[in-house]
Amino acid sequence: MTTIPLPSAGPVRDTIEARPEHDNYLTHTRGVLSWAFTLDHKRIGVMYLWSVLGSFLLGGIFALLVRTELLTPGPTITESADTYNQWFTLHGAIMVFLVIIPSIPAALGNVVLPIMLGAKDVAFPRLNLFSYYLWVTGAVLCILSLAMGGFDTGWTFYTPYSTTTAAGGVIPVLTAVFILGFSSIFTGLNFVVTVHKLRPPGMTWFRMPLFLWALYATAIIQVLATPVLGITLLLLIVEKTVNVGIFNPAMGGDPVLYQHFFWFYSHPAVYIMILPAMGIISEIIAINSHRSIFGYRFIAFSSIAIAMFSFIVWGHHMFTSGQSALLNTLFSAISFSVAIPSAVKVFNWVATLYKGSVSLTTPMWYALAFLFLFTIGGLTGLHLATLSTDVHLHDTYFVVAHFHYVMMGSALIAMIGGVHHWWPKMFGRMYDERLGTIACWIIFIGFNVTFFTQFMLGSHGMPRRYYDYQPEFQVYHVISTVGSYIMAFGFVLTAVSLFGSFFGGRRAPANPWGGRSLEWQCASPPPFDNFAKAPRVGDCYDFSVVHWDEKTGGYWVDEPADPEVNPSAAPKAAH
C-alpha cells in the first residue's frame, strides 16, 4: 500500500501567510494561449463565469427592452410586434440556455467541485475544455442567428409556429441549443465520474458538502435528460428542412407530441437550474451560521429524490393542451409530490439558523433573499399544480411571475450569492461588503416590485407574450417596469462592488467566512494544483474548530487529523 502524504502539524494559516505573493492558478502561466488551451478546471470555470456573466448582461438588456416596451399599451419603443417578439424570445433563450443552465454547474461548479472534493482536477480535463468550446460555439451560433433573420418562436420553439415562421434564424438557433446541450451533457458526465472516482481517502459520501450532492444530482439530470432535448430539436430541424411530418399536422404530425418531448427535457431542466442553487444555499447558510446543517442526510437525499421526481412531472406544463383528463390528473398528483422535499429543505435551512452564530455577510444576505423568494416561488407552484386554478392561470403573467421567482429569484440569486461566496477564493480579493449588501437589497426590492406585480397581472387575466394589452393592465405594467429598472441598478452596483475588488480590494485570506469544506483550506487564489499539501478531510459542518484570526482578517481551522487517514495524529485534536 502506498503511503498517503501526512498532513504536517500546525495550523493551516502558516502556509498561506508565509507566501503573500504565492504562485496561484491565475499567475502560474501567462498569456492568452495559456488560458485558451488550459486544462485547469479553475481557469475553465473562470472562463465560463465571464462568458455566462456576459450573456447575462445581454439577456438583461433584452429584458429591459421588453419591460420598457410594455410601459404603455400599443407601441412604446418599437412600432413592430415582430421586433418585440424577437426580444422576449432572445431574453428567454439566452437566459435559459446560455445563462442559468451553465451558470452554477459549469462556472462555479467547475471552479469549486474538485477543490471541495479534495481532487486536483475533474476526471476528464480535456473533455471539460471541449465542453467550454462547445458552449462558445453554441453562443456564437445563437448570436449569428440574429444576423440570419432572428427568431421569434419563444424559447420553447412550439410547433407548428416554429417550423412555419418566416424568421430566418430558427434553424441556426436550434442547432445552437443542440450544441449547448452537448456542452451541458459533457459537464454532467465529468462531474458524475469525478464525484465517483476522485474522492480522496476520508471523503466518504456522507462527508461531502451538500453543494457536491447537489451538483451530483444535477449532473445525473444533465446526462439523462439533455439527450431528449437534442433529439427533439433534431427532429424539428429535419421537419423544417426536409418536410418530414413529425409534429406539423399539415404533414400528418402531432404538435402535442412536440410538447411532450420538449417538457420531458425542460421540466428536469428546471431542476438543473434549482438543485445546484439549493446546494449553494446549503453551503452559505451553514457556513455563515457556523453550525452543522440541520438534517444533512435529508437534504442530501432530497436532492436525489427531487432529481428523480423531476422526470415524471413534465405533463403539468400541458394541462390545457388537449392532454386527456386522466393524464392531467396523474401529472397534477405527482407534481404535488415535488412540493414535499422542497418544503422540507426550506424548513431545514430555517432550522439551521436556530442557535447558530449568524454572520450577515454579503453572501448570507443573498441566501436570506433566496429563502424569501424561493418560498414565494415554491408556494405559488401550488396554484399551478392544482388543476382547476391552473386552467385559469396557465399562460398568463402568473406563470411568468412564478418561474421568475424560481429561476431568477432563486437560481440566479443563489448564483450571485455563490459568486460573492467564492469570489475571494477565485480571485484573491475582497470586495466592498457594505456596497455588496446594499446592492443585494436593491436587487431584492427591485425583483419583488417587478415580479410580485406580475402575479396580480396574471391572475387578473393578462396573457403572456403580448406586445399590446388592454389599458386596465397598464398600472401593473408600469410598476413592474419600474421594478426592473431598480433591479438593473442593483446589478450595476453589484458589478461595481465585485470588479472594484480588483482595484485596491483587500487581499483575501484563505478562509474569509469561516468555512470548513476543503476549498477554504487552500490559499486564495488556490495554487495551480489546488493544495500545497494533501487536504485533511474532516466533518465539513463542524465549526467548533474554526477560529478567527485578527491578523489575516480571516478564519483558520485547527483541524483534528482524521483517524481514518492518519490514526497516529488523532489525539492532537485539542487546541
Residue list 61-90, contact with other proteins (CB under 8 A): 73, 81-82, 85
Under the binding rule (CB under 8 A), the answer on residue 573 touching other proteins is no
Nearer to other proteins, 206 or 499 (CB): 206
Cβ(230)–Cβ(238) under 8 Å? no
Check binding of 479 to other proteins (CB under 8 A). no
> Least distance (Å) from other proteins to the CB of residue 248?
8
Q: How far apart are CA 476 and CA 117, in angstroms?
A: 47
Q: Is 469 in the site for other proteins (CB under 8 A)?
A: yes
Cβ neighbours of 29 (radius 10 Å): 14
Q: For residues 396-435, which are near other proteins according to CB under 8 A? A: 396
Instruction: Tell the smallest beta-carbon distance from residue 397 to other proteins (Å).
Output: 11
| Cis before 160? omega within 30 | yes
- Nearest-CA neighbor of 461 among 470, 450, 449? 470
What is the C-alpha separation between 1 and 200, in angstroms, rounded? 15
- CB 396 → other proteins: shortest distance, Å? 7
* Of 59, 188, 255, 490, the one binding other proteins by CB under 8 A: 255
User: Of 68 and 292, which CB lies nearer to other proteins in the complex structure?
Assistant: 292
> Quick check: 470 binds other proteins (CB under 8 A)?
yes
d(CA 253, CA 435): 55
N- to C-terminal Cα separation, the chain: 32
The residue written with cell numbers 425542460 in the block is: 266
Q: Assess 301 for contact with other proteins (CB under 8 A).
A: no
User: Does 31 contact other proteins by CB under 8 A?
Assistant: no
336 binds other proteins (CB under 8 A): yes
Q: Supply 207's cell numbers.
A: 462527508
Smallest gap from residue 382 Cβ to other proteins (A): 5
- Cβ atoms of 532 and 15 within 8 Å: the answer is yes
Rounded distance between C-alpha atoms, residue 519 and residue 512, angstroms: 11
Q: Among residues 195 and 233, whose Cβ is nearest to other proteins?
A: 233
**Torsion sign (Cα): 355, 358, 363, 367:** positive
CA pair distance 167, 337, nearest whole angstrom: 40
Distance, CA of 240 to CA of 242 (rounded, Å): 6
Residue closer to other proteins by CB (options 137, 321) is 321
Going by the DSSP 8-state scheme, the letter that residue 535 receives in this structure is: P
Q: How far apart are CA 177 and CA 265, in angstroms?
A: 13
Q: Which stretch binds other proteins (CB under 8 A): 215-223, 269-277, 463-471, 557-565?
A: 463-471
- The verdict on 241 binding other proteins (CB under 8 A) reads no
By CB under 8 A, residue 149 contacts other proteins: no
CB of residue 172 vs other proteins: minimum separation in angstroms? 19
Binding-site member from 1, 3, 550, 574 for other proteins (CB under 8 A): 550
**421 pairs with which residues across the strands?**
none
Residues 358-397 binding other proteins (CB under 8 A) are 358-360, 368, 371-372, 375-376, 379-380, 382-383, 385-392, 394-396
466 is an interface residue for other proteins by CB under 8 A = yes
**Contact string 341-360 vs other proteins (x = CB under 8 A):** --xx-xxx-xx-xxxxxxxx
Q: Return the residue of 321, 478, 534, 558 that touches other proteins, per CB under 8 A.
A: 321
Whole-angstrom Cα distance, residue 412 to residue 130? Answer: 25
Candidates 135, 191, 294, 314: give the one binding other proteins (CB under 8 A): 294
